Structure 1
Amino acid sequence: MNWYVLYTKPKWEKKVADKLLEMGVKAYCPTTVQVRQWSDRKKKVEVPLFSSYVFVQLEERERNAVFAVTGVVRYLFWLGQPAVVKEVEIAAIQQWLSAPDTYDVALDQWQPGEKVVVPHGIFKDQEAVVQEVKGTHYVLVLEALGCILKVAKK
């Protein structure tokens, strides 16, 4: 079974994931805790790591079942096909969220435009393209995950 990416209505990620789980669909909405400031107080709030995205694992023939859930907009597509996320990428996200302070990435001599394999940390063994080299950090594009990673230089 493949992991697919659902696009949801804004602020509906956790509700959609809960409803999908109730239906028996394996769903994953990675969340992180942030401190939010209001005029009278600060509060820790659990927010989705990826805005408007929920990961679902199901058979190709069952993909339309998710549209029975209010808040689901569509699947995320890549090159004309529904975007498929590898099991190891989902596991990497889960592992990173379980202990975010234990991972460190060290980079030394990369140049813009160079294709590299991340040597350490949560994205270890992921292919990336060096987009920028700054004084204190690198900016990497992880094409397989569709995201940009900012990594501090050592």
Structure 2
Amino acid sequence: MSNVGLKNWYAIYTKPRWEKKVHGLFQQRGIESYCPLNKVKKKWSDRVKIIEEPLFKSYLFVHIAEDQKTEVRFVDGVVNFVYWLGQPAKLREEEISRIKRFLGEHTDVKVVQLVDPKPGDKVMIVSGAFMENEGTVLTADKKWIEVRIESLGCKLVAYMEKEKISLKS
């Protein structure tokens, strides 16, 4: 069975502050891409405005076949693929969907780079964007719950009620 036409999601590293530009260039070339945008309140002296800025600084995602990797590398603003364990970092479709759902439900999201996470309690998320997903609690402080997306080597942090999870036995 050939996997020439099989598409995977890959993380791409861009020049600083080029995420939206590269996303636009991919769209012009017919390359499916996703640039997660975080809605953030910015305050100026005379007003407060909600702006969309890239969630992952200098990163975006492409959904491509193996034979499109060279084309992606030559798009202006692309530095290279993000590598994880010596290979271009692949993401599962579910992970991209989770990021989309997460950003649809939360604003002003923070990205925290993982240093050395310690495994904790196994939980089942019982409501919200990640409903029916299992996870491992990294930390829980009052209402802060940390969600880990392993392919990226980072975690998304959302303000979520503890009632949205239950301990697995």
TM-score range, shorter chain: 0.7 to 0.9
Which residue of structure 2 aligns with residue 153 of structure 1?
162
Distance in 1 (CA, whole Å) between partners of 2:134 and 2:152 is 10
Matched, 1:66 2:75: no
What secondary structure does 1:131 align onto?
coil
Distance in 1 (CA, whole Å) between partners of 2:9 and 2:147 is 24
Root-mean-square deviation (Å): 2.5
Contact 1:128 1:143 in 2 (8 A): no
Q: Is 140-149 or 82-91 further displaced after alignment?
A: 140-149
Matched, 1:42 2:48: yes
Which one of 63, 79, 84 corresponds to residue 78 of structure 1?
84
TM-score of the aligned structures, taking structure 1 as reference length: 0.77
Q: Structure 1: which 5+ runs fail to align?
A: 102-111
Distance in 1 (CA, whole Å) between partners of 2:132 and 2:152 is 13
TM-score of the aligned structures, taking structure 2 as reference length: 0.71
Matched, 1:130 2:137: yes
Which residue of structure 2 aligns with residue 143 of structure 1?
150
Cα pair distance change 1:122/1:41, threshold 3 Å: same
Distance in 2 (CA, whole Å) between partners of 1:68 and 1:31 is 24
Distance in 1 (CA, whole Å) between partners of 2:96 and 2:104 is 12
Cα pair distance change 1:141/1:27, threshold 3 Å: closer
Cα pair distance change 1:90/1:62, threshold 3 Å: same
Cα pair distance change 1:41/1:136, threshold 3 Å: closer
* Matched residues, number: 144
Cα pair distance change 1:139/1:95, threshold 3 Å: closer
Which residue of structure 2 aligns with residue 22 of structure 1?
28
Kindly state the Cα deviation for residue 140 of structure 1 after the two structures are TM-superposed. 4.9
Give percent identity, aligned residues only: 40
What secondary structure does 2:76 align onto?
coil
Q: Structure 2: which 5+ runs fail to align?
A: 1-6, 108-117, 164-169
Distance in 2 (CA, whole Å) between partners of 1:135 and 1:46 is 28
Which residue of structure 2 aligns with residue 104 of structure 1?
none
